[in-house]
Structure 1
Amino acid sequence: MNRSHLFNYIEEKLSHLASRIEVRGKLNLLDLHLHSENFYLHFFNELFGWPLENLNTIKPNAEAIDLIDHVNKIVVQVSATATKAKVESALAKDLSAYTGYSFKFISISKDACSLRTQAFFNPHKLVFDPLCDIFDVPSILKYITALDVDDQRRIADFIRKELGAEVDVRKLETNLAAVIKILAKQDLRRGNSAVETVPFKVDEKIEFNSLDASRDIIDDYLVHHSRVDRIYTDFDRGGVNKSLSVLDAIRGYYRAHKSQLGGDALFRKVVDCATDTVLSSLNHEPLPWEELELCVNILAVDAFVRCKIFKNPVGYAHAAS
């Protein structure tokens, strides 16, 4: 999984957890809060290398403080409320035992950006810089996006273990994932029959759409057009619209982004959207990232040849689909 998909996965999971808390309101809020409190304990330990502990397991019903790190002298409050009053209420509690400790505030549902520019009453003089010590999902994601790919993969693996097993009602089977599953079992090293004749010159369509960086991908995977056609033919034996639904899905990604993007950026976006769909499909069978990317690129090139994506040069008809 590349940096883009690793970050997108992390962003989706953290944002989903935050939205669950916000949408549920008071319904099961305590359970969600406790789950989030423990999640962020382990998450921050993984992210920053802190040895945080849940203070409630050491000192039940501890006021204002949820997590503590005695090694680095850090105390943390985890809250579903992000207001100045909430922060000051925590700081006003009897925290005299933590003199010299750094106070961190984690908003688990609301954006806390406005709090970082405010001044807070801090009677026990804990070390507290609102700009650096108030966390929310956007600030955490900003930190993660600067990490190298190995650290992002480590964080994504942790989140997958913690949150990935949760049933997501939005996760459905897709025909795109089913085709990828079939294509992944093909021996793509073996020779393939010649590319079927299409009523336009591929090079001219590449130039017409300014696909300079994508040219190599299209040239390399064009040879698999007839192979994909046979897969679609077999796939349609299970339903007359199965292959059409896959091609329309790919075309849908193209249509959704063509007003904002063009050329190579648009081609890459189509591939990324198709990849995200496969990864989030209930019937997706995990593949090494390189194999998944290869298969999605092949389907995108095939859609290009069938004129489902990108404009044809003037004067050329559409290829058969």
Structure 2
Amino acid sequence: MKSRTTTNTTNVVLPSWVARSVTGLMTTITIAGAGFSALVMTTKAEEAPATNGLVETLSPSGQSNVTIHETLGELEKSPEKQITFPGVKSLFEGRFDLYREDDGQFVRRIVVPKKAAPGKPWVWRARFWRHAPEFDLAMLEEGYHVVYCDVIGLLGNPKAVRRWNAYYQLLVEKYGFAKKPVLEGMSRGGMIVYNWAIANPDKVAAIYGDAPVMHVGSWPGFGSRLLERSYGFKSQEELAAWKGNPIDNLKPLADAKIPIIHVVGDRDKVVPVSENTAIAQKRYQEMGGVFEVIHKKDAGHQHGLKDPTPIVEFIRKNCGVK
């Protein structure tokens, strides 16, 4: 390939997040999301400099008379620039960067897609981290971040909601995440997902519940004891009179037009469909809300779908990036 020469050439220090593809004696540099391309002269492919090069052309699309120095300065401020999150870095399912932060009180996790979708959408998962990860992996492929904020043992109580409020503010204001995440709640994780959504209906893009607890009265024994401990009830009578179950507080979600999808096992004896999802779906649809349910006919309290495409398509169809 015969390269076109220019009168002046300039040595440029390129940002570390610029992707490089070395081909022979010419390195093509692409700056994602900014409409730039540059040809960098090198001697040998294996000697291509890590950060410096002799730029032959640098053409910002739709701009003219822009100096390289000024342009790269603006690119350093670009929202497309890769963000490094706090915490210990590892791999999620061997494929995506995972940052785990533990301040000694509770754990937070962020999984980063290979390329974030426009608007930086995200899935906020509650409880049972890494269990049945098919949906999370599919959404990472869609360009969503996947986030986890530990609320173990709180069962969606006010303390859990406050903790999520604080983390939400950090993610949106500091890291530029979308203002409306997709909430994902499995089993008792349904309590924090729904209680946070009910308290923040203007901050939710959609809800994916997987055999979620929506009425603790249908979860006797262990569930009742856990609820007593989490909410500080003094008696069974006080517990029975409680009106804080998600199944009784769906109107704010319907008013906000939040689309909901559940995956349930029809033979679930731990969180019976008839006492949780079925009642919630009927009430929500009567309020005019979108509420779809995927039934696994021969399944009990098992989570997820081996092929999560129906859930992903529901998210695409009903909310997109918000």
TM-score band, normalised by shorter chain = under 0.3
- The structure, 1 or 2, with the larger RCO (C-alpha pairs under 8 Å, 6+ apart) is 1
Q: Which has the higher strand share?
A: 2
